[in-house]
Amino acid sequence: MEIKTAPADADLTDVTFIVGVLAGTQPLPGAGELVESADPALIELAKFEGKMGQVLQVPHQIAKAVLLVGLGDEATFESIRGAMGNAVRSVRTQRAVTNLHQAPIDAATRAVVEGAALGGYQFRSYKTEGEGLVIESLELLGGDEDEIGETLVTTDATNLARDWVNAPALDKAPQALAAMIGEAAGHAGLQVEVWDESRIADEKLGALLGVAAGSDRPPQVVILRYEPEGAGAHLALVGKGITFDSGGLSIKTAPFMEEMKDDMSGAAVVSAATIAIARLGLPIRVTTVVPLTDNAIGGNATRPGDVLRPVDGPTIEVLNTDAEGRLILADGLGIAKRHEPDLIVDVATLTGAARVALGDKIAAVFASDSGVSSRILEAASRAGEQFWEMPLFKEYAKTIESDIADIKNISASRYGGAIIAALFLSRYAGDFDWAHLDIAGPARWRETVGEQVKGASGVGVRTLVELARSLVAATKPSTVS
């Protein structure tokens, strides 16, 4: 679907006109005439009241149809974004126009574009039957081309991450996924480096090799570099890239294995965010490290009780092979530290405990200090993504002390699992400013509603882009004399 601007006097023949309606069937400013022209009896018969999630198509004397979309009690960024997601899936003409971006709220254009681009997302690569969206173009009457274009960069990146995560594990072996990421990054002008298994061994990434040992699909490491002229801050991103997680010898039960193609969501998010940052031309240096491997079962698989040696930091006694994400992140963080960034952020579908604590729509934030966590949360708020700060309670660190190695990869306690995983990672982040984003809950949407489409979510991409913007702003020289 193409999203673009259109003149205020655009031809509306054969077009669906999308307008916003508040609860109580109150039209937004600028939509009154369109709403009032609709047959009140038809609106009453359909029980359309402007509630969030409601959509009603009515005939119009000029346009092909008017699509009324409910905004609920108030026009907000979130309600407009959600309404546009509902709208584009309901349009039955190839072309639609809207004036919802003229709503009297901040960032209304971004809300409209995000809602349409994210809510209109489809993953149909493996479909042989059925139809996709009818709508082919959405036009914002009198819209701002620059704002539309900038928003589309971040929504395109989010949808790219969704594509990678939605793809079956069969078709994204580490080598194949590395090629996909490398190709997309290359088109964005990024420097791309890919390490094969031999290079990984030479670099002594013992934790990644330990997780990969049970698979016949060799591991890879993808390193992306964005180094624009005039860059101030340096951001390092690390993404968990488990291309399929069987649990290893600590095997998962079948129901818990069904969605494990998603376990490379962190890798997809950080890669796509880096591509978006480059396409936007933000003056910030970014180094992204993506370790990729299956966590499989084979004759050479790591056994509970084995000890692994990461590239840097404590040795690890592996007591549960299904706590593998933190192992490959240990090596990813070790590589990221070599580049001496100002801030390291890792992203991972790391623990079921984070999902238990925060549900399916909120991601957890752990950070080295309150300043870092505040920066992440502020970026998430601007991006319109839901994150929540969790405590890095250092007293729990004693629960992963090992008798034969430096630390264990799990605690003996069944409680506080997300905190303990974050404490584990903090040992490999060292003294750097660092944040860990556990997206285990919202990495997958469970239903299609608003801008959310069932399947991979791409949550985190837009937050990381906003984080990069904030770091750029923080390093700009003061103009105050």
479 DSSP β-pair partners = none
Q: What is the CA radius of gyration of the chain?
A: 24
Task: Give yes or no: 361 in active site.
Answer: no
CA distance 366 to 350: 12
Q: Among 290, 327, 285, 255, which residue's Cα sits nearest to residue 161?
A: 290
Instruction: State residue 112 phi and psi, 5-degree precision.
Output: -65, -45
Residues in CB range of 287: below 8 A, 6 or more apart: 223, 224, 225, 226, 234, 235, 236, 237, 336, 339, 341
Pairwise CA distance, residues 282 & 276, whole Å:
9
Q: Which two tokens stand for residue 294?
A: 């299956």
Q: What tokens were used for 333? A: 């963080």
Residue 123 corresponds to which tokens in the numbers above? 């993953």
In the residue annotation, 252 being an active-site residue is answered as yes
> If you ran DSSP here, which 8-state letter would residue 360 be given?
T
Contacts of 8 (CB under 8 A, 6+ apart): 141, 142
Which of 51, 204, 225, 252 does the annotation list as catalytic?
A: 252
What's the burial of 187, exposed, middle or buried (CB within 10 Å: 0-12/13-18/19+)? exposed
The torsion angles phi and psi of 223, rounded to 5 degrees, stand at: -120, 120
Q: Which helix (H) or strand (E) holds 308?
A: strand 307-308
Residue with tokens 């979309």: 69
Q: Could you tell me if 316 and 406 are in contact, meaning their C-beta atoms sit under 8 angstroms apart?
A: yes
| Active-site pick, 95, 279, 326, 408 | 326
Element housing 427 (H / E): helix 417-429
Based on DSSP, count helices (H) and strands (E) in the chain, helices before strands: 15, 21
- Catalytic positions are 252, 326
